[in-house]
């Protein structure tokens, strides 16, 4: 009886020993968690979901190649509900509960700005894939690395085309958020330097569906060009309501969230002739900095049955996740401080173009800012086309 008991005990200890010895190897193969904060519901949910789709493509492509250091990527996705308070709560939840070492987010500038104090409090880096308010990188938060252009950089990208566009007197209609207010200020400042007359901007709430009052004021001002900054859902309404009012102004959308293909579907003839600043041209992938990568992304998007019109947002999700994965690869570990340091060393070709961070903000607390590729397209004859001044001769 005693012999049998001792044998059982030895077997149990042996099994336990093997389990303990195997634990470190098993732990090393645990997935790498990346937090994602996007508006998956609320007024700008379409954009957030497109970015989620792009992020999933990056995850799957990286995992198919063996992951990072032999470990798979796992996306932990939180819905900020198009609300800054929810964005801050999502950031804290991902950091405290889920222990993510890095985050991508949070689409809108107000949402990103609301989450930023949490990143600094806990010491976790975030790659900003969409937000364009200037103070995101200038406020002194060293945990922020932005791959989207701030409004000032976007305005400079358009500056060389102002004369060709024939802008003499400009009006602005923008969403009443940090993004919209920042865009009106940045583009207005650029245009004034070019000698363009700039009228006082009109603003609308993010959930507004009737912009007729603002459009009436803009029409009375007599400008030749209207700059619009908001998400595609409101742009559609503005184009339709402007057409009903017989607004004669040339329309240019900023921020890269216009989704011209979606406007053609939803606004129809009201979208004809409009210009749009975009950061990815899925209609002409060969014209992107890396045509092969751009084409592969467009093909994969179609293969998954995602709507074509979502590509102008979806690429951001891919590039954001790919940037974090590259930083983890450079760091050699998935620890927040190591990833933060590695992000300064990242040099990556994304769907948008080269991703490499430069310092922006107060000395000693700089954020990272990459210089994205910026393009202008026009809706002509119900299709997306390069404007005459950009088309190759």
Residue extent(s) of CATH 3.40.50.2300 domains in the chain: 32-149+288-369, 153-278
pLDDT number for residue 190: 98
pLDDT number for residue 29: 85
CA 383 to chain CA centroid, Å, is: 24
CATH class of 153-278: alpha beta
Per-residue pLDDT, averaged over 109-129, amounts to 98
pLDDT number for residue 11: 40
CATH class of 32-149+288-369: alpha beta
Helix ranges restricted to H, 245-358: 260-267, 291-303, 311-331, 336-343
pLDDT number for residue 226: 98
Averaged pLDDT score across all residues of the chain: 93
pTM to 2 decimal places: 0.89
Q: Which structure tokens are listed for 67?
A: 């992951």
Among 13-22, 68-77, 350-359, the range scoring the smallest mean pLDDT is 13-22
Question: C-alpha distances in angstroms, 226 versus 151, 179, 192, 251, 254?
Answer: 16, 17, 15, 5, 11
Q: Which structure tokens are listed for 378?
A: 């026009």
CA distance 371 to 256: 15
Q: Answer yes or no: is pLDDT of 255 > 80.
A: yes
pLDDT number for residue 391: 67
**High-pLDDT (> 70) share of the chain, %:** 92
CA distance 334 to 30: 11
Per-residue pLDDT, averaged over 94-106, amounts to 98
Q: Which structure tokens are listed for 274?
A: 């409009």
């Amino acid at each position: 009886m005693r012999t049998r008991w001792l044998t059982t005990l030895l077997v149990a200890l042996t099994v336990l020993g093997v389990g303990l010895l195997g634990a470190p190897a098993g732990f090393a193969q645990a997935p790498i968690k990346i937090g994602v904060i996007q508006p998956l519901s609320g007024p700008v949910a379409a954009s957030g979901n497109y970015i989620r789709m792009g992020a999933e493509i990056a995850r799957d492509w990286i995992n198919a190649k063996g992951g990072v250091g032999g470990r798979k990527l796992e996306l932990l996705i939180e819905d900020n509900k198009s609300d800054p308070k929810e964005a801050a709560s999502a950031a804290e939840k991902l950091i405290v509960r889920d222990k993510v070492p890095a985050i991508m987010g949070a689409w809108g500038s107000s949402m990103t700005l609301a989450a930023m104090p949490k990143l600094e409090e806990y010491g976790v880096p975030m790659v900003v894939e969409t937000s364009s308010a200037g103070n995101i990188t200038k406020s002194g938060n060293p945990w922020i690395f932005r791959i989207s252009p701030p409004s000032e950089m976007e305005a400079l990208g358009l500056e060389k085309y102002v004369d060709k566009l024939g802008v003499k007197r400009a009006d602005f209609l923008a969403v009443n958020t940090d993004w919209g207010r920042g865009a009106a200020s940045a583009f207005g400042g650029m245009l004034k330097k070019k000698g363009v007359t700039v009228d006082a901007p009109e603003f609308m709430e993010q959930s507004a569906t009737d912009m007729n009052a603002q459009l009436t004021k803009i029409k009375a001002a007599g400008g030749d060009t209207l700059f619009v900054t908001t998400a595609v859902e409101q742009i559609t309404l503005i184009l339709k309501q402007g057409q009903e009012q017989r607004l004669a102004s040339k329309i240019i959308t900023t921020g890269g969230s216009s989704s011209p293909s979606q406007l053609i579907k939803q606004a129809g003839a009201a979208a004809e002739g409009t210009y749009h600043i975009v950061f990815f041209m899925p209609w002409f992938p060969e014209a992107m900095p890396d045509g092969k990568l751009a084409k592969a992304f467009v093909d994969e998007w179609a293969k998954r049955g995602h709507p074509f019109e979502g590509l102008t947002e979806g690429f951001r999700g891919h590039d954001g996740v790919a940037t974090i994965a590259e930083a983890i690869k450079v760091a050699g570990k998935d620890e927040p401080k190591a990833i933060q340091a590695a992000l300064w060393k990242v040099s990556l070709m994304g769907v948008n173009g080269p991703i490499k961070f430069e310092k922006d903000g107060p000395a000693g607390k700089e954020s990272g800012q990459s210089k994205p590729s910026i393009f202008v397209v026009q809706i002509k004859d119900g299709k997306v086309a390069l404007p005459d001044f950009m088309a190759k001769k």
